[in-house]
Structure 1
Amino acid sequence: MEEAASPPSSSASAPPDCSVVIPTYNGRVWLERLLASIRRHRPDPQRVTLEVIVADDASTDGTASWLAAVYPEVTVVRNPVNQGFCGAANLGLSVARGRVVQLLNNDTEVTEGWIERALIHFNDPDVGAVAPLVVLMARPDLIDAAGDGYSLAGLPYNRLSHHPSASVADRGPVEVFGASASAAFYLGELIRDLGGFNRAYGSYYEDVELAFRIRWAGYRCVFEPSCRVKHHGHASYDHRKPQLHRRVARNGERLFWSCAPRSWIAAGLAVRLAYLGLNMARGLSNGRAWSILGGLVDAWSDPGLMWRRRRENLELAARWGRSPRLEAWPALFPIREVRAMRRHLQHRGTTTTAFPSPHTVSHASAKPSLPAHAATVAGCLDGVSTNRPLRP
């Protein structure tokens, strides 16, 4: 992780119950709304102690001076040069002292009671992460992410994306694969030991890669629908750019081979190859084939890197003295989720003018669009087998 320029002034005090870490780059306009919502809905300090950390990724919009004047209670750490989302997030995580750490995109807003129910889950020694219900800022009746999922085809996705938020309102917590980094709670000790996000991913799927490591270390993730966060999102990257599709293809291939257990690879290899073939066929029609192929070449240009990461994952369980939480098989291909994501992406288009820079907010919860015909892959099943109600 990056080192902070100076330690927080409150370092001598007792560790808080939760550290809220907010990576930002030239995002003052969004921070104004987020920090106002945190101040408005901050829990009673007699029940929950909280520290807020803004990790400024070399902003040039006066973020640091504005925070010092308007939010003196906020700890600010700053990268001297722009490091991107992973670098900024890891900087904030490196100084977070809380028993639990929440990562928030700067284009989110919290709601009343967003934190208390999430913290309760960490009383369970098996829980390493909690995913709140993330709804769309402009349409809070629609879900942005109800945790992350992963299919045997090697496809990460936002659970229940663009489904009605009322559909989960009366449900209890369930176990999910992982938490979207737009608004995720992590066990502080665990996230510090794991070293935060893998900067080799740059952007896209870094939260899914972290979710894999959490499960390899023997911990699970819980989705808590009563914790609600609003997210603007889905506008930080131009989906027309070839380099974006190349990076997505590279990171997706790395995930499958370096993180998935061998049983998942054996069960899903055929459907993954079918998906890659369909994706390449679509790429030939829309001019993205070379970007996709380039990403696959990038992933396999150093196979030793993937095998080393795989060995490190296998060692995590031994290091923590736990059994990996990867025994249940997910679906081969999540048809319902794919269709919902495609509707959502088509609805929003590729507008990027809302943000002055690709690093203004995290892309973490915005999984890329998918081929229209991909859902026809034979043998597909809907849902994820790890999405089961919690045991009493």
Structure 2
Amino acid sequence: MSRLAIVIPFLGDTQRLEETLVSVLENRPPDSEVLVVLCRPYDNPYHLEDEVRFVPGPARPSWAGALNHGTAAARAVYIHALCCGATVTEGWAEPALHHFHEPTVAAVAPAIAESTLPERVLAGLYYDPRGAIRQCHVGPESRGFSSVPVAPHWAAAFYRKSAWEAAGPLAEEVGDQLAMLDFALTLAALGHRTVVEPRCVVRMSAGGVSSSAFRRACDAERFYWRWAGVSGPKKLASHARYVAADCLAGLADLSFFARLAGRLVGLAGWRTAGRQRRRIEDLKQACRLANASAPTQRLIPVRGNGSAGPASAGCPSPAGRPLRAAK
């Protein structure tokens, strides 16, 4: 078994895939394997079979589904999800992998530097029970969010595979852009942590996973109701105000009606609010049983009997590099 598996979902952009493969293979960490999950045909013109393992993708192509397939096929202790279009430098993975010496850490969010805005460094996502989903920046002028769960950005993330297997897979139904956040909240509910490592830098070219204003609004509304079932809809009035403000913000780019329609369609998610709560309870019970049968190899430090909602566990800001939420 390898130490690290680098999993790259391929959704059809050959140029971006090859850009990432060149970067990864030039700077490949020791004791690692590279997997490309093929959601679209790839001719493999450079005959990389000896260096890259090509894995068939899901029948219904999606970034989250491809990552699930790749992680299941990986033979490694840790997983590094990497999006096509991402580039890395020598030794980029080591600072992130170091965090896994702490048994409660299940995921590490690297810093994402955008090629078009190099001064804008992203450190993942945060979420609050109103339903607000924001990007976190790494910057010297930032304020920390020490009590808010942080999920890795979809462009790159590191996971402990045993924790992935205990809490996963990614929920494809929440959409590609929210799958990482959903998984981070699941890990937090089980007592695990996601940490940010600003010394692990992944550069991302423009493009990648994208969706329409309607789809983003619909996914966000469904996501709110999915997690309201875990923590309880304690901030329903705040959520309503937030949704109104979000829709009105669409007047600036003519997406008001698309956002409003997406939110209305996403309201159907309230019917499934209890499903996620039951799933979390089942996962906790499964982890307790696993821990009881192998007390010296605890998979997940499950919390007490009380429910753990989206705001109950957090990600500490990295020392010297505070986080702030992008507006």
TM range (shorter): 0.7 to 0.9
In the alignment, which residue of structure 2 is the partner of 1:156? 133
* 1:60-139 mapped onto 2 (5 Å cutoff): 63-66=42-45, 69-70=47-48, 72-79=50-57, 81-139=59-117
**CA pair 297-282 structure 1, distance change in 2 beyond 3 A:** same
In the alignment, which residue of structure 2 is the partner of 1:249? 217
- 2:200 partner amino acid: C
Distance 2:58 2:227 in 1: 32
Matched length:
302
Structure 1: stretches of 5+ with no match in the other structure = 1-14, 239-243, 331-383
Distance 1:125 1:175 in 2: 20
Identity %: 26
CA displacement at 1:50 relative to structure 2 = 0.3
In the alignment, which residue of structure 2 is the partner of 1:51? 33
Distance 1:285 1:120 in 2: 44
Distance 2:226 2:209 in 1: 27
CA displacement at 1:302 relative to structure 2 = 5.4
CA-to-aligned-CA distance 1:21-50 (integer Å, 9 cap, x gap): 00012222122221221122223x3xxx10
Work out whether residues 189 and 280 of structure 2, in 8 Å CA contact, stay in contact via their aligned partners in 1: yes
More off after superposition, 100-109 vs 301-310: 301-310
Work out whether residues 109 and 152 of structure 2, in 8 Å CA contact, stay in contact via their aligned partners in 1: yes
**CA pair 289-75 structure 1, distance change in 2 beyond 3 A:** same
User: How large is the RMSD of aligned CA atoms in angstroms?
Assistant: 3.1
TM-score normalised to structure 1 length: 0.68
Work out whether residues 126 and 148 of structure 2, in 8 Å CA contact, stay in contact via their aligned partners in 1: no
In the alignment, which residue of structure 1 is the partner of 2:303? 323
Structure 2: stretches of 5+ with no match in the other structure = 289-301, 320-327
Q: Does 1:308 find its partner at 2:275?
A: yes
Q: 2:196 aligns with which of 194, 198, 223?
A: 223
Q: Does 1:198 find its partner at 2:174?
A: no
In the alignment, which residue of structure 1 is the partner of 2:8? 22
Distance 1:121 1:293 in 2: 41
**CA pair 206-111 structure 1, distance change in 2 beyond 3 A:** same
Q: Does 1:292 find its partner at 2:259?
A: yes
In the alignment, which residue of structure 2 is the partner of 1:339? none
Work out whether residues 154 and 256 of structure 1, in 8 Å CA contact, stay in contact via their aligned partners in 2: yes
Work out whether residues 126 and 219 of structure 1, in 8 Å CA contact, stay in contact via their aligned partners in 2: yes
More off after superposition, 301-310 vs 256-265: 256-265
In the alignment, which residue of structure 1 is the partner of 2:26? 40
